[in-house]
Structure 1
């Protein structure tokens, strides 16, 4: 079994040697109790089964483990790491039997190097009876006795290996495994869990955790082959060595401090109260055997030691021997009555031999003959440190003795409190502190030595009887025979009736009377039968009939004031016990109410030695006690006692667990009502407490103690607690004084109270959550435990204008953490939607994704504020550093409109101060149109005239030269623009870049000449002739480069000149025409081309125009600024040349 830490169990060489106990003298004087028990101890009992060296658990790295793993690898190579890892560096493995240093039986077929250990006794756990010492550096590891007992009980009860899997394994090992049994049931699950193992083997029985048994898989075959190797190793051995695979370890998140070693050393020493000092050698012997420990998950279930003790037999021969030594006659007839005074000051009693044997099993006097109100059955080695559970062999009669109730009640609680105190001190040295309840459920606490401290009840005041003394009838050493006046059986007379205790019993009272009249009852006679006050005796037989009904007895129950019978008066029949003798023959049932607890019912009441005798059942009306109590009535003395364990204690509080409890409830008429012991409990999500049982000043039941809220959360964690009047109460103040003990909480204070089982907290916590205004939150007890929660306002920061969050501090995976959620209104211009705010264990984050618009920007953005580092990917990462400021992060894309005609998409980022910056190149369309197409026609010169020749006939001569042009649409392409833009500082915006201006353009000249003869009539004319025209034209794209460098303070200006030039030739055409007009209206007009010819070369023609842009104005291309480069044309020469070619 794994101890709490690797340092918990020392090497055997480091353990103190057991103290040598002196054998007590068999001389009666030496055994007298006049001196201190510590000075004259009773002989220690024979070593109980749990103290015998246990079956050993093999350790990782041993030869048998290495061999098992080699064989398993051969059968099925592991897909996972070796389930039996090697020992840590520097710690040698325990020497296995058969190896150097081993002392146990050899676990393989090889001849043993020394004789095998003797076979174990019936009470010996598992097998071997001699421990195998560990090699240096590794603690001895033994199978806990309670587990060994269970393994032994279940030997051979498992299931056989499945046939398919078995065949292959038998072929590999060369051995028939039909006799091997596999255990995978619930008990196997408990045993493997108790050993911290996936599997272990004992002889031919293999125990495998249910979730690890998979013989059809490679991993399952590997594990099975490993355990079968141990079966082969243990074949033919006198004892089985238990092999385990995995040990649990303390969670690595708990870190030792420099105080841990000292606290551990203190914890390893078990402190014994004074009444246990005489057993110190036995405790240290167990420590040397590595078996003095509180096992993980310790419980007392099944530990009814009184029932175990009542199985003890006091031999009749031993009783006869002791009575003979005391000169007390013993009738030869086994049913005869033995008249004696059992101890000093005792009344004369009459017992049969069997009744005397029963009485001696738990006598009510000590070895000095003094009356003891009550002896209880006590574990010699307290069960809680015996390495046992309640049903283990530590609960055997060999580990029991009788101890007076006060001593017994104090010793168990003293040891338990000392263990818890040291465990708490040990755990306090870890960072963070582990939960005690969890640790004790999962780890053994191993003690390497024991020491008597003198705590608890004084040893000199204690009284005890050992098992051996009871079996030898030692309590009869103080018995005495009756004196002569008491001896013999007195007979009554017609004038004196004798009341006896029972058939052949002692005389209880003598009642004188006149023949035929009722006896007079004096004060002394009224209490002749203890427990009753006789008020009258009615005798119906006046002849002294020796048997049968002789009358009746009227009486009232005579009990202590706290015990009130339901029916005070009672009538009891009398039966004859000789001449003028009688005894109560049929006692009615007795029902009483005990004011401190509840009603008690005595179903059967009898008389014994002049006293009422009965046993009844008290079912406590106090909810905390969840088990009935047996009440014993002897005369007018009532007594009861019960030791309540954790399974018999109930606290009706939600989410409450009883971690441990030992409460002794006792009562006797002489000593009154008493309580002792302690209840340890925990409330999920809140903390743990303890309540010490006591009797209140009013004589009732009360529990006083305290409750400690989780110290991982609170610095001031302790409050008073109590249980009174059926309800839990508490009061006190708790608080957090260490800033950021829980990250996010600066301090906290709360006043605690409990009303009707409900916790109430009045107080608040001051937060250190970044981005939060100075505020406090409340502390409450919620459905799932203690809660620190509330709504607080957010402080303004570069990303947040206002908002609120709900803050909670709750436990998450064992640690207290502060978390929060809420919403906030953004302080980032252009972001109008709410931000989602979260806080988790120091990390603050506010986030928004959505639309954004501001200034020249519009688009989508993801924005956040955090106190964590922002990585290269623009996202928060890692933990938040203490006191880290809240910074803004984020990115997105937006459309940037630099001018009405110029916009594009750009990436944007958020600066830590919350401002948005566009920095980089803007993605623009392939082409931006800056103005539409413009048309231009210009007449350079023109001539038209008619010359009369004769009336009605005219000569028509005309000519012209005109220019035309079209420009646009103008467009910018190949545009690359970089921008640095912050909407908060638009005055610093800087735009730079280059572009290409592309303006499609065309230009032309038209030269025309016309000549013809016409007929002129009033109101009408008709003309016909020839028309010669020439066109000179160019077309193309006017291009120019543009550089942009703009800031708001300078404004944006673009000035460029586009030009288009060419050297074209004239194209002339000769056309005929006829035109008829009448009254100003054209009646006929037709042209037809007769010929075409190109003339001229080296003519330079072109057009140029400026382009201008000023910020806030549209692009301006003025036609007034259009300039033509017109060639010098000689029309006459051109016509001569044309005529020569055409005509």
Structure 2
């Protein structure tokens, strides 16, 4: 918008909220005692949207300033609405012209200020040249800010000083106030903001700022204030999923626009055209410059003037109903208020056809520019289906049709019949005689209509048809007129007219010759009645039929319907026949376009199809479409003399998947065609794909792909998958072999690259044969988002182990507890093996327990740590020992047959076992692959239950002996001293298969017991060496002795594989010094 047309730029006043906010930021960045600027003396910008212009994201009308010291009082006293509070118009124009041309912020200054404001200031420009001096002087300020441009007066302190940083922070606060932070701008320009998976780059902010501004073509510049008002109200937007369904603005206009009868009379009277008092009377006039004289009833004029066919200069024009604010940015869908008659006018067809496409192309160009800065890049069609585009400023450009060549009628002009401004009354010569004669037949165009032709003839003869008369009715070439004798009567049949259709060469009638009945229209006058229907073949599109044809103002008039034979254009066209002129025009929207391709969506379309006899056929515009699971494309409409209507363009496979994504595409002969090569050149652009290439063709409407993708999936040998057409569209899939690793011997993966939540990802699943001995079942293998995982959980048996094992292989990090977690640390992270479990370990016949298992990164299985064992392990059974220390026995004859028997003995006895290890704490290091290196260490407690005893005996008696038999009786004194307990020893276990288990220990029992004596009588009778009678009767028991030290000591020696043998020689008794005689005497004294 020119500077003189803008509202004056308003300068904010001291004390306003935004000024206080700016000063608070300045004080936080660089506290200063300087009185300049201060909240009470420094004007600042007021970002009021009411003064926002059309040129940028922040208006030149919003100017903030910091005054010089000398002008603070004057500035502070200025009223916000006073002339002194406004930037002169010429200065505002200079500000706008220089927008974005200054210097960037110094890097050393910029970084801390960005940290403070949380905003990227890469787009901020500093102006300190001569022009900036003039502009700051015009405002009377040390500095001022307009949008992202900061103007500094000469002599302004440097930004590397405290005062300079204070001033700059103050002005940057105004940048943020006027333009918003990047995040806020994002939320404003795109609603809702793009999903978090799309990451902005350093170019995103600038691209988004450009998208924030709507550019309208020259033919719309006269409506700039209306567009700007909607932008200020946050209502200028392209709504998500926008479509024109139900718009049909021509029907809305025809129903709601009324050309008043009084207005028609008034305009006709102003133009000097007689108006009959009878409403059914006819008005004879020329509607515009160069028009034929016509005869119309008042009601017919009202209908005709609703959509006139001439402009305000009286030139022939085709007009279409146009949305003043283009429906696509009105914030509405096809049926919203944007489609109301208040938002409509008539615009010439070329301007109307180019306007919408120009705006649409600009939006798409800027949106593509923004989407290109995101990583990954979203698909435009998908993005538009889910997001509003909000425009906060507007600029008129010179794009599209030239404004000087456009023509329009407003609704008010139509309803007030201003379209009759170039109408005129016919001259007497143009009006002509109203009656014929017997020698001259007048051919009327319609009942009561003008004279289309005059045909002289002799009475009773047929009229002569000259070249001029032959074309008296435009659209027909009259070959003969046959008149009856009734031509002098005012009505009824008066003859026939023979003719041939006279139409452009491209339009061929099915029946070239026709005969038309002539109906009387006064004396020697007649008009054609009941014209037959007309079937035409238009070679570029399809047949058209006119079922009703009439003649008006000397020419044929008819409307027919043409259904294009091109399947892509799904809506019929209305063809108008005016004389020999044929014409049609239609702007096809998305709902009127069809691509008969599976899974295809028409994202947008604006195809103008028009024809006139003078201009020929014109086709223009674009169709934007997308194919689910493949990508999107566009087709541009064109027409050629030889080839007819064609659509040429391209198809872009999803750029988030392919680097080389573009192929040629076309629509010819009713079919879609395409050809080209697509590919992935950036390794791991899609994680898991190193590269890809495929040739693309469309034959007979079917896509075909021939190519492959090289994989970078870990765990695979060199492998690729096919790129082909599948049932659901483009497919990247195949089966590949797994490479050998410590966990996997062999296996197969099915790999697919598919889109999930808008992102292309490689995923795979399959099975593998394990390389870990003892694991017989298959491993389940998966790959997703760069992570390779192979897992098994189940029974395990190997060597001395049997139990349950969970094992896996992955390229992810393995935690201390042995579980994988998180993503891979790097694309080339190695595959490591991990796992754990529990198993029964039978280390030796005597040693069996349960232990934890751990799988090493190289795949080897180890058992390490303590093993759980039974409470006690028996290593040998009970053994018993008796040892006679000394003994004596003698018989002394007294008399024949009678002897005295005296005897005594001292004996020891012991039992050992069973020997057992308990309180075991055993650690094991065991690798099934290296069983000979198994090492068992630990401590154990050796417990050997044992008992030991010492018996002292004395016997005295008298015996009777005979041959073969003896009988003895007497007293027996016996004493026993005994202990019982468990011999204990600490044992260190150190075992390896090569040497077995060795245990060497010494066990001992010791005590200080007392002898227990018993006095018994006995009788023993033997016969022939056999005991016939033996009876012992205990008579008394006594304990004697003290300080007797008695014990047993024995070695414990165990060698695995050898029996445990404890001989008597191994037992060592500690026997007290016992004097049997003294003990007997003491016992005798005690007893007797």
Normalised by the size of structure 1, how large is the TM-score?
A: 0.71
Alpha-carbon distance in 2 for matches of 1:697, 1:940: 139
Structure 1, unaligned runs of 5 or more: 1-14, 22-60, 63-89, 97-243
**In the alignment, structure 1 residue 776 sits paired with structure 2 residue 741:** no
- Report how far residue 1058 of structure 1 moved: 1.1
CA 1:322–1:1047 in 2, change beyond 3 Å: closer, same or farther?
same
SS of equivalent to 1:408: helix
Give yes or no for contact 1:367–1:478 (8 Å, CA) kept in 2: no
Flag the 1:447–1:1064 CA change in 2: closer, same or farther, 3 A: closer
SS at match of 1:1067: strand
1:1102 aligns with 2:1088: no
Deviation at 1:274, TM superposition (A): 5.2
Q: Deviations over 1:799-848 (max 9, x none)?
A: 33333333333333333333333333333444443333333323333333
User: Using a 3 Å threshold, how does the CA distance of structure 1 residues 1063 and 371 change in structure 2: closer, same or farther?
Assistant: closer
**What's the counterpart of residue 244 of structure 2?**
300
Is residue 488 from structure 1 mapped to residue 433 from structure 2 by the alignment?
yes
Alpha-carbon RMSD: 4.3
Which shifted more, 709-718 or 506-515?
Answer: 506-515
Task: Say whether residues 1:970 and 2:915 are aligned partners.
Answer: yes
Aligned to 1:1000, which of 932, 945, 959?
945
Q: Which position in structure 1 is the counterpart of 2:388?
A: 443
Q: Say if 1:478 and 1:699 are closer, same or farther in 2 by CA, change over 3 A.
A: farther
- Give 1:884-899 correspondences, 5 Å limit: 884-899=829-844
1:750 equivalent to 2:736? Answer: no
Q: CA 1:1034–1:305 in structure 2 vs 1: closer, same or farther (change >3 Å)?
A: closer
Instruction: Decide whether the 8 Å contact of 1:499 with 1:581 is kept in 2.
Output: yes
Gaps of 5+ in 2: 8-16, 19-43, 51-187
Q: Is the contact between residue 191 and residue 389 of structure 2 (CA under 8 Å) also seen in structure 1?
A: no
The equivalent of 1:732 in structure 2 is: 676
Q: Does 1:19 align with 2:13?
A: no
Q: What per-residue deviation string (whole Å, max 9, x for no partner) do you get for residues 2-41 of structure 1? A: xxxxxxxxxxxxx9857379xxxxxxxxxxxxxxxxxxxx
**d(CA) in 1 for partners of 2:538 and 2:242?**
34
Q: 1:1087 aligns with which of 1032, 1039, 1050?
A: 1032
d(CA) in 1 for partners of 2:45 and 2:239? 24
Q: 1:415, CA displacement in angstroms? A: 2.2
Matching residue of 1:420: 364
Q: 1:876 to 1:398 in 2, by over 3 A?
A: same
Q: Distance in 2 between matches of 1:511 and 1:596?
A: 38
Contact 1:287 1:447 in 2 (8 A): yes
Q: Distance in 2 between matches of 1:1139 and 1:1089?
A: 16
SS at match of 2:824: coil
In structure 2, the partner of 1:936 is 881
Asked if 1:869 is matched to 2:820, the reply is no
Question: Which one of the candidate residues 599, 602, 612 is aligned to 2:556?
Answer: 612
In the alignment, structure 1 residue 686 sits paired with structure 2 residue 672? no
In the TM superposition, 1:799-948 aligns within 5 A as: 799-883=743-827, 884-940=829-885
Assess, with a 3 A threshold, how the Cα gap between structure 1 residues 919 and 541 changes in structure 2: closer, same or farther. Answer: same
Q: List per-residue Cα deviations over 1:386-406 (Å, max 9, x = no partner).
A: 555545555455654444433
Farther off after superposition, 324-333 or 1101-1110: 324-333
Q: Cα offset for 1:959?
A: 5.4
Once the two structures are TM-superposed, the CA of residue 341 in structure 1 deviates from its matched residue by: 4.9
Are the equivalent residues in 2 in contact too, given 1:496–1:580 (CA < 8 A)?
yes
Equivalent-residue separation in structure 2 for 1:512 and 1:1020 (angstroms): 192
Aligned residues: 913
Q: CA deviation at 1:476?
A: 5.6
* Partners of 1:580 and 1:795 in 2: CA distance: 103
- Per-residue displacement from partner, 1:913-940 (whole Å, max 9, x unpaired)? 4344444444433322221111223345
Taking the aligned partners of 1:729 and 1:890, their CA distance within structure 2 comes to 55
TM-score (norm. length: structure 2): 0.74
Match of 2:982 in 1: 1037
Distance in 1, Cα, partners of 2:668 & 2:483: 52
Q: For residues 846-887 of structure 1, give each alpha carbon's deviation from its aligned partner in whole angstroms, at most 9, with x where no partner exists.
A: 333333444554443433333333344443333332233333
Report the more deviating stretch, 411-420 or 1073-1082: 1073-1082
Deviation at 1:1000, TM superposition (A): 0.7
* Paired position in structure 2 for 1:629: 573
Note the 1:16-165 alignment, pairs <5 A.
Answer: 19=5
In the alignment, the residues of structure 1 paired with residue 1086 and residue 261 of structure 2 have an alpha-carbon distance, to the nearest angstrom, of 168
- Which residue of the partner structure matches residue 159 of structure 2? none
Q: 2:491 corresponds to which residue?
A: 547
Q: Determine the C-alpha separation between the residues in 2 that align with 1:757 and 1:430.
A: 34
1:167 is matched with none
Separation in 2, partners of 1:95, 1:871: 57
Rounded to whole Å, the distance in 2 between the matches of 1:276 and 1:91 is 30
> 1:481 aligns to what SS in structure 2?
coil
How far residue 1124 of structure 1 moved from its aligned partner, in angstroms, is: 3.0
The separation in 2 between residues aligned to 1:458 and 1:597, in whole angstroms, is 30
Match of 2:520 in 1: 576
1:720 aligned residue (643, 664, 674): 664
Contact persistence 1:910–1:917 (CA under 8 A): yes
Going from structure 1 to structure 2, the CA distance change for 1:954 and 1:425 (only over 3 Å counts) comes to: same
- Partner in structure 1 of residue 34 of structure 2: none
Structure 2 CA distance for partners of 1:664 and 1:247, relative to 1, 3 Å? closer
> What is the aligned counterpart of 1:641 among 560, 579, 585?
585
**Partner Cα distance (1:415, 1:517) in 2:** 65
Equivalent-residue separation in structure 2 for 1:341 and 1:969 (angstroms) = 137
Match 1:1055 to one of 1000, 1005, 1019: 1000
1:188 is matched with which residue? none
1:767 lines up with 2:711 in the alignment: yes
Matches of 1:508 and 1:460, distance apart in 2: 37
The CA distance in 2 between the partners of 1:917 and 1:1017, in whole Å, is 82
Moved more, 952-961 or 500-509: 952-961
For structure 1, which segment, 1087-1096 or 340-349, has the greater mean C-alpha deviation from structure 2 after superposition? 340-349
Work out the CA distance in 2 between the residues paired with 1:545 and 1:1142: 186
1:999 CA drift (Å): 0.7
Offset at residue 421 of structure 1 (A): 0.7
Q: Secondary structure at the match of 1:763?
A: strand
Call closer, same or farther: CA 1:314–1:1134 in 2, change over 3 Å.
closer
Give the aligned partner of residue 51 of structure 1: none
The offset of 1:677, in angstroms, is 1.6
Following superposition, the deviation at residue 664 of structure 1 comes to: 1.6
The structure 1 residue matched to 2:612, chosen from 668, 676, 699, is: 668
More contact order relative to length (CA 8 Å, sep ≥ 6): 1
Q: Check 1:1017–1:462 CA distance in 2 against 1; reply closer, same or farther (3 A cut).
A: same
Q: Is the 8 A contact 1:318 1:472 kept in 2?
A: yes
Cα distance per residue 1:527-554 (max 9 Å; x no partner) = 5544456566565554633212334456
Q: Which residue pairs with 2:737 in the alignment?
A: 793
- Secondary structure of the structure 2 residue equivalent to 1:771: coil
Q: Which residue of 2 aligns with 1:431?
A: 375
Asked if structure 1 preserves the Cα contact closer than 8 Å seen for 2:214 and 2:391, the reply is no
Counterpart Cα distance in 2 of 1:985 and 1:390: 79
